[in-house]
Structure 1
Amino acid sequence: MLDEEARTEGFNEMALKFSEYYKGKIQIFPKVPVRSLEDFSFWYTPGVAAVSRKIAENADNSFEYTGRWNSIGILTDGTRVLGLGNVGPEAAMAVMEGKSLIFNVLGAVNAVPIPIRVRTRDEFVSVARALEPAFGGFNLEDIESPKCFFILEELQKSLSIPAWHDDQLGTASITLAGLINSLRIVGKKHEDTTVVLFGSGAANIATAHLLMAAGFRGENIIICDSKGILHPEREDMDQLMLNNPWKYRLAMITNGERRKGGPEEAFRGADVVVSAAKQGPGTIKKEWIRSMDRDPIIFALANPIPEIWPSEAREAGARIVATGRGDFPNQINNSLIFPGVFRGVLDARAKGVNFKVMVAASYELADYVKEPTEEKIVPTMEEWEIYPRVASAVAYETASQGLARRSGSKEHFLKVATEMIENNRRVYERMLSEGLIKPLPGTVRK
């Protein structure tokens, strides 16, 4: 455990050093040739007026004549950043820049970080609606619960572009992908599997809905939060009905056995635990894992410190252990999902996204691992081929659901996404090799 803690502190020190050196992770750079001042006559005035008139005839023309088709806004109010909590929009900018970097490197998506200073959920929705003409989609990020549920729901109803809250939908999608392969390894069926969702914030609320959309039975899902197991007779149900109706509705359709009590009762006999609770170690106890059914599956997803160290979970009998960290096997990280999802919705010029689209993305990701093992249930971020594959599955399913402005075969969308991502990678690698992007301080460029 000391080695694991020291490694975490080392990453913290490097992050501070490198962030101060580069002073930002992204920049805007032209994509069109400018050979002389005359070229501005068609890139800007007077020629650009014709483009504006064309778009004024039909707003959807903005997807064909401007960069809107490949641009998204990353919106946050900084109220729930990583494991830090409410640090404010300025502090959230560092995380949003990192998100933008991943979007571009892995998905060839132009993602603009937009931390906003708003006081209420309605103000957040108003800002997003006002920004809609500039983007082909919104990635919502690091928004406290239950505010995030209202914002996502309102934006999905009112916008003509996809709204995706990565802490909900991204985490749920990669979790489902990991569970698909984990259950293949232990030989259990979705409909017979008892899943404990430990923690009931944004991630696990969305995971509950996605699991049901993928064939898990609601009565076999047990949600346990800081007050214990969620069930219809719990004393805070009236309060939840008013303040968190999303959690209240799940109390009505999950936990068919009507279990009561705390984690000890929730874990007993369960097949799977997906934890999105407070950081550990020690949040999940070894004895709870020992009480589970054969071949326990533990997803301890708190960052940066998981609820239980993987070595301890295995000592307690866990067959498969996953965390949110890349320095352990089986990283359950949104970065495997969201670049491909947004590549897909942008290629389809999508108007929205739903749970069926997310299930398709999760299966595409899981199926990429041809022979899953206890140490490899999902791909890694280095296997870049997964991103065009997820993109094609998302674009095709979006079109099938009637949510797209463009249609095509899965093969067509795979070709489009692959070309986009490959071209972007070539440009980026060329900039690195020629020193246009400075090497890390203290290293020599190869």
Structure 2
Amino acid sequence: MPADHPSDTASALDAEALRFHMKPTPGKIGLAATKPMATQRDLALAYSPGVAAPVRAIAADPDAAYDYTSKGNMVAVVSNGTAILGLGNLGAMASKPVMEGKAVLFKRFADLDAFDVEVEYTDPDKFIECVKGFGNSFGGINLEDIKAPECFEIERRLREELDIPVMHDDQHGTAIIAAAGLINACDITGRKIEDLKVVLCGAGAAGLSVLELIKHLGVKDENTIVVDIEGVVYEGRPGCHDRLAKHAIKTDKRTLAEAAKGADCLLGLSAAGVFTKEIIGSLAPRPIVFAMANPTPEITPEEVAEVRDDVIMATGRSDYPNQVNNVLGFPYIFRGALDVRATEINEDMKVAAARALAALAREDVPDEVANAYKVDRLQYGRDYIIPTPFDPRLIYWIPPFVAEAAVKSGVARRPIDDIEHYKQHLARRLDPTASMQQRITAAIRKEPKRIVFAEGEEPAVIRAAHAFENQGLGKAILIAREDVAKQNMRELGLPDDALEICNARLSEHNSEYAEFLYKRLQRKGFLRRDVQRRVNNDRNVFAACMLKMGQADGMVTGVTRHSNVVMKDVKLVLGPAEGGRVVGIASAITPGRTLLISDVTVEEFPDAQALAEIACATANAAKRLRLTPHVAFLSYSSFGNPPGERTEKIQEAVRILDRMGVDFEYEGEMAADVALDPDHHRLYPFSRLTQPANVLIMPAVHSASIALRLLKSAGGATVIGPMLVGLEKPVQIARLGSSVSDIVNLAGVAAYDLNTVDA
């Protein structure tokens, strides 16, 4: 067995990386079956004799492999190890950890299965013949870490000789991300790309691909100069291979310093320290500098800042703004290409990916993305011209652009008929909450509602309200002082008239609300002046009055106060819905399973009657969310074993539902593992649940909270909520300090109104 640590001379990071790759299982990838393999019948279908049916179908029509095998979701990551990262030619087997890492990235970011294939041949002809021999087993080929100029010929010929997408990511991945950044850098500096004067330093595979792609975007040949290790590439310079020679121009400049003088854009894909401060100082006003050498750029942002402060800069490093990271490109490009069964990845598809990335950077950035990078805010501008790799929107934003470009350019074998449906499908691949959110969104767009955002001066709330309106989900109303809200809008880059603002103290409805509230509370210890003060100063009270009096349809609050404080304020104005009970419901979602858990916020120790009513409210919410409720009353015991006094109220709750004659399945008391077990009828054949439970009624708030947090932290569930149901008007209370996305989601829930009886 090898040691689990390197020699004493290796760095701590090296030691950690070696342990990471070795334990608990060597390597980073494995195989998981997508079909059940539990019974003899499963095996008969998966292998002999059942497998003969798809074999015959594919023999008759090779494209049927997309229907009956995993080909359409599988990429081969292929290398011969002749240019591994910045380490050079270390051989095919040494490239295996990198190729496994690339396979992991395909799965993590685009839900594509990928397997590494290391080819021992360094001769291009032998390498090409080898890959041709197995290539069509896969949906696409990602070439990686193959040295130039051989990589150009290898990619060209494999693209010609295979009818699946083939892309050398070292070339085109960098090119696509850099092109996206350049589009936005030109926008920010007020330049037209066709007028841009560009100097490229570094004429390897990546550098030349960047140059060719930006020329495809509009950069003119005569406005570009290429510089390699021997100096400027000029017409007639001896020793240039064909790919390099086609970018030679007629010029008397011979050095990088001469070429860079007065240039608008300096692109570096060369080596550390190549760009001097003098070179940076000689560039045109508001220059664009992409120093993309790894791990150390041609010049650091700190060094640039010592010379001038008008530079838009990008590097390949994650610890600086504007990282040119290939993971922004290749997973989503292959995702879009494979989803339309493209025969190749062409220039139109690369340009589409670049333009899509550029457009995404101009959208409002979710808080969770900023939090992941430990910054307060990411906003389109000099320090944010390229999306970040962990932006969750990439999966459903980029592939549709690529797929549409494949269709328009004639290389798609299966066009996408409904692009919106395709986007929703992509979102669901990596986000288990997407399906529920899409149902809510689709419903409320058909009938937009007026949602009041009670804490309307908070920047996060303003952003959420603007996103709610901008997505066509309804009308947003901020409860705020006009001057404060408008100032915050301007600071967020929004017009100060972007949203409707209602000042509680100055509202024309102020007296009406106070009179209503006084009549409601005058026998509960409130004087008229107490009520007036509440209406004037308490935005939750005022917002709840808007709902009660019909000036709004729903309300979101809670970002700045604890939920129990907010609930007391709201209950001064709003009571339970007729015949209903106020309940806090959370949705815990994992791939393949959605659970509604109740009550998580309101009733601390519900009695039997309360448990029965909570079950009814939660079952109705499940129906509203298009779930068929299978309700389980949870306990530490199952059907009286072990016995205990705490189970008696649960048993009584079941009897109450029996007498009520409700229209949903329910059972209990049950342990959690029994409720979720599809085969629990083996031990309990009398159980009334025909499916595993998806609505879990907890015996107390503390058990609900514990279960929910365990599901989220240890079980990997995505949690939505708590969602409030049972008030006479739709009110949703966000958690203290909620993100913009959370607030928008709860505003959608308020507009959807979980109290409504499902039609």
Give the TM-score normalised by the residue count of structure 1. Answer: 0.89
1:105 matched to 2:113? The reply is no
Q: Distance in 2 between matches of 1:366 and 1:354?
A: 19
| 8 A Cα contact 2:175 2:206, kept in partner | yes
Which residue does the alignment assign to 2:331?
A: 339
Which residue does the alignment assign to 1:419?
A: 428
| 8 A Cα contact 1:314 1:321, kept in partner | no
1:249 matched to 2:246? The reply is yes
Code of the aligned partner of 1:368: L
Q: Distance in 2 between matches of 1:434 and 1:92?
A: 34
Unaligned runs of at least 5 residues, structure 2: 1-10, 363-378, 435-589, 594-710, 717-759
SS at match of 2:136: helix
Which residue does the alignment assign to 1:315?
A: 306
Which residue does the alignment assign to 1:443?
A: none
Superposition map of 1:184-195 within 5 A: 184-195=187-198
Code of the aligned partner of 2:398: V
Q: Distance in 2 between matches of 1:375 and 1:10?
A: 31
Which residue does the alignment assign to 1:395?
A: 403
Query: 1:307 deviation in Å?
Result: 1.6
Which residue does the alignment assign to 1:28?
A: 31
SS at match of 2:275: coil
Answer with 310-319 or 332-341: which moved more.
Answer: 310-319
Code of the aligned partner of 1:263: L
1:143 matched to 2:146? The reply is yes
Answer with 312-321 or 113-122: which moved more.
Answer: 312-321
Query: Structure 1, residues 72-127: CA drift from partner, whole Å, max 9, x if none?
Result: 10010000011111111111111111111111000101111111100300111111
Query: 1:423 deviation in Å?
Result: 5.5
Query: Could you say if the C-alpha distance between residues 431 and 93 of structure 1 is closer, same or farther in structure 2, counting changes exceeding 3 Å?
Result: farther
Query: Structure 1, residues 157-182: CA drift from partner, whole Å, max 9, x if none?
Result: 11100100101111100000011111
Query: Could you say if the C-alpha distance between residues 330 and 392 of structure 1 is closer, same or farther in structure 2, counting changes exceeding 3 Å?
Result: same
| 8 A Cα contact 1:210 1:359, kept in partner | yes
1:351 matched to 2:351? The reply is no
Which residue does the alignment assign to 1:277?
A: 270
In the alignment of these two chains, the number of paired residues is 415
| 8 A Cα contact 2:262 2:283, kept in partner | yes
Query: 1:349 deviation in Å?
Result: 0.8
Code of the aligned partner of 2:23: Y
Which residue does the alignment assign to 2:613?
A: none
| 8 A Cα contact 1:393 1:410, kept in partner | no
SS at match of 2:294: coil
Superposition map of 1:362-401 within 5 A: 362-370=354-362, 372-401=380-409
| Percentage of matched positions with identical amino acids | 37
1:260 matched to 2:260? The reply is no
Rg bigger for which structure?
2
Which residue does the alignment assign to 2:19?
A: 17
Code of the aligned partner of 1:410: I
Query: 1:421 deviation in Å?
Result: 3.2
Q: Distance in 2 between matches of 1:431 and 1:127?
A: 46
Which residue does the alignment assign to 1:40?
A: 43
Query: 1:431 deviation in Å?
Result: 12
Answer with 138-147 or 426-435: which moved more.
Answer: 426-435
Pairing partner for 1:216 from 219, 238, 242:
219
Query: Could you say if the C-alpha distance between residues 416 and 44 of structure 1 is closer, same or farther in structure 2, counting changes exceeding 3 Å?
Result: same
SS at match of 2:227: strand
Q: Distance in 1 between matches of 2:359 and 2:163?
A: 31
Superposition map of 1:423-442 within 5 A: 427=591, 433-434=714-715
Query: 1:67 deviation in Å?
Result: 0.1
1:296 matched to 2:287? The reply is yes
Q: Distance in 1 between matches of 2:190 and 2:342?
A: 37
Query: Structure 1, residues 182-222: CA drift from partner, whole Å, max 9, x if none?
Result: 11111111011111111000011111111111111111111
Query: 1:422 deviation in Å?
Result: 3.0
Q: Distance in 1 between matches of 2:713 and 2:267?
A: 39
Answer with 47-56 or 20-29: which moved more.
Answer: 20-29
Query: 1:388 deviation in Å?
Result: 2.1
Query: 1:334 deviation in Å?
Result: 0.6
Which residue does the alignment assign to 1:324?
A: 316
Give the TM-score normalised by the residue count of structure 2. Answer: 0.53
| 8 A Cα contact 1:395 1:413, kept in partner | no
Answer with 407-416 or 311-320: which moved more.
Answer: 407-416
Query: 1:424 deviation in Å?
Result: 12
CA-atom RMSD in angstroms:
2.1
Which residue does the alignment assign to 2:618?
A: none
Query: Structure 1, residues 364-410: CA drift from partner, whole Å, max 9, x if none?
Result: 01101125211111111110211221111101110111101111243
Q: Distance in 2 between matches of 1:232 and 1:189?
A: 27
Pairing partner for 2:277 from 286, 289, 294:
286
SS at match of 2:92: helix
Q: Distance in 2 between matches of 1:217 and 1:395?
A: 28
| 8 A Cα contact 1:74 1:141, kept in partner | yes
Code of the aligned partner of 2:265: V
Code of the aligned partner of 2:359: D
Q: Distance in 2 between matches of 1:432 and 1:20?
A: 26
More helix by share: 1
Query: Structure 1, residues 308-341: CA drift from partner, whole Å, max 9, x if none?
Result: 1221122222611111111211110110011110
| 8 A Cα contact 2:82 2:122, kept in partner | no
| 8 A Cα contact 2:106 2:331, kept in partner | yes
Q: Distance in 2 between matches of 1:266 and 1:424?
A: 52
Which residue does the alignment assign to 1:114?
A: 117
Code of the aligned partner of 2:357: L
Q: Distance in 2 between matches of 1:284 and 1:433?
A: 48
